[in-house]
Amino acid sequence: MIINSKTEQYSKLIKAEAKRLGFLSCGISKAGFLEEEAPRLENWLNKNQHGEMKYMENHFDKRLNPTLLVDDAKSVISLLLNYYPSEKQNSESYKISKYAYGQDYHFVIKEKLKEFLHTIQTEIGEVSGRAFVDSAPVLDKAWAAKSGLGWIGKNSNLLSQQVGSFYFIAELVVDLDLEYDYATTDHCGTCTACIDACPTEAIVAPYVVDGSKCISYFTIELKENIPLEMKGKMDDWMFGCDVCQDVCPWNRFSKSHNEPLFNPNPELISFTKKDWEEITEDTFKKVFKNSAVKRTKLEGLQRNIKFLK
C-alpha cells in the first residue's frame, strides 16, 4: 500500500514537473520488450523500407527493449514538446519542414531533460536514468502510444485528438517504479487524407511508410543524388516534408508553441525562391545558426534546390 501511494505521488510530481518545463503532455509506461513492434520493425527492415538509413539495422534488440539501454530500467517517461509555428514561410518559396524553423530540437530538449532528471533526483532521491531525444535506438512513437499520449496514425506519426502531431517526442528511462498510463484508441477511422496527399506515394499501406520513398529521406538522409523519377514530385520541399501532417484533420487542433528557441530567423520566413537559389555560405550560417538544417550542409540544400528547379 505504501508503495502504491509512493508511486502515485512520484508520478504526479513527474507530470507536474513536465508541465512546468513546458512539455505538452507526459505519459508513463512500464519498461520492457515491445512485443507488437518487433515483427513490424523486422518486416520493415527486410523490405528495405529504410533505404540508405543503415543505422536502423543496428541495435535491433535495444530498439525494442530499453532495459538493455538503462540498467534496471523500470519506467519510460514519454514527453511531447510542441513546435507548431505561429509564422509560416513565404508561399512563393522552397519549403522547410516546420520542425526545423528554430534551433535544433535535440539541444533544446536535452537541456530540459537534464533539468527534469535533476529535479526527480532532488525530490525523490537516488534515481538513475537516461534522456533520449531521437538520438539513440529508442522507438519513441511506440513508447508515447503505449503511455497514452496518442495513437500511431496511418502516416506513422503519433496523433493526438487534442493537439494533432506537430510535436517532438522524447523519453526519460528511469530505474523507478511509477504509476503507468494506458494506451489510447485509434481515431484515424476511414480517413485516408495522408495516403492520398503524399506526393511520392511513400505511405504504401495504412500505417506503413516506405522511408526510402519519403521526401524527408531524399532531402535529409540520402547522400547520393535524388532519383530522377522523383523529378516534379517533390512539391517544392527542400528540407523535410509536412504534407501528411498538414492534411491530417487532427492538426486543425494544433496551437502555436511558446518556446522562443523554436522561433524562426526572419529571413527564413521572408525568403523567396530566388533568395534560396542565391544563398551564400555566410547567409546559410546566419539563417541556420544552431538549426537542424545544418545537417544537410549548404551543399546538400543546394543539391535539393537544384533538383526542384
CATH of 2-88+98-174, one of 1.10.260, 3.40.109, 3.40.30, 3.40.1360: 3.40.109
- Which pLDDT value is given to residue 60? 81
For residue 177, say whether it is annotated as part of any ligand binding site.
no
* pTM to 2 decimal places: 0.93
For residue 295, say whether it is annotated as part of any ligand binding site.
no
Q: What cell numbers appear for 281 in the block?
A: 555560405
Q: Residue 1: pLDDT above 70?
A: no
**Active site residues per annotation:** 134
For residue 46, say whether it is annotated as part of any ligand binding site.
no
Q: Residue 191: pLDDT above 60?
A: yes
Domain boundaries of the chain, sorted by first residue: 2-88+98-174, 193-253+263-308
pLDDT 10s digits, 102-159 = 999 999 999 999 999 999 999 999 999 999 998 778 899 999 999 999 999 999 999 9
pLDDT 10s digits, 199-232 = 999 999 999 999 999 999 999 999 999 999 999 9
Q: Residue 186: pLDDT above 60?
A: yes
Q: Which residues pair with 28 in a beta bridge?
A: 77
Percentage of residues in the chain having pLDDT higher than 70 = 98
Percentage of residues in the chain having pLDDT higher than 90 = 84
Spatial contact of 270 and 276, defined as CB atoms under 8 Å apart? no
From the CB of residue 45, how many other CB atoms can be counted at a distance below 10 Å?
Answer: 14
For residue 186, say whether it is annotated as part of any ligand binding site.
no
Q: Residue 56: pLDDT above 80?
A: no
Question: Where do we find the cell 502504491?
Answer: 4
For residue 72, say whether it is annotated as part of any ligand binding site.
no
- Which pLDDT value is given to residue 2? 43
Greater confidence (245 vs 54) lies with 245
As a whole number, the mean pLDDT across the chain is: 93
**What does the H/E/C string look like for the chain?**
CHHHHHHHHHHHHHHHHHHHCCCCEEEEEECCCCCCHHHHHHHHHHCCCCCCCHHHHCCHHHHHCHHHCCCCCCEEEEEEEECCCCCCCCCCCCEECHHHCCCCHHHHHHHHHHHHHHHHHHHHCCCCEEEECCCCCCCHHHHHHHCCCCEECCCCCEEECCCECCEEEEEEEECCCCCCCCCCCCCCCCCCHHHHHCCCCCEEECCEECHHHCHHHHHHHCCCCCCHHHCCCCCCEEECCCHHHHCCHHHHHCCCCCCHHHCCCHHHHHCCHHHHHCCCHHHHHHHCCCCHHHHHHHHHHHHHHHHHC
pLDDT 10s digits, 252-303 = 999 999 999 999 999 999 999 999 999 999 999 999 999 999 989 999 999 9
- Which pLDDT value is given to residue 81? 98
Residue 132: partners with Cβ closer than 8 Å, 6 or more residues away: 69, 138, 140, 170, 171, 172, 173
Q: Residue 31: pLDDT above 50?
A: yes
For residue 26, say whether it is annotated as part of any ligand binding site.
no
Spatial contact of 192 and 39, defined as CB atoms under 8 Å apart? no
Beta strands at 237-239 and 95-96: parallel, antiparallel or unpaired:
parallel
pLDDT band of residue 41 (cuts 50, 70, 90) is confident
Q: Residue 3: pLDDT above 70?
A: no
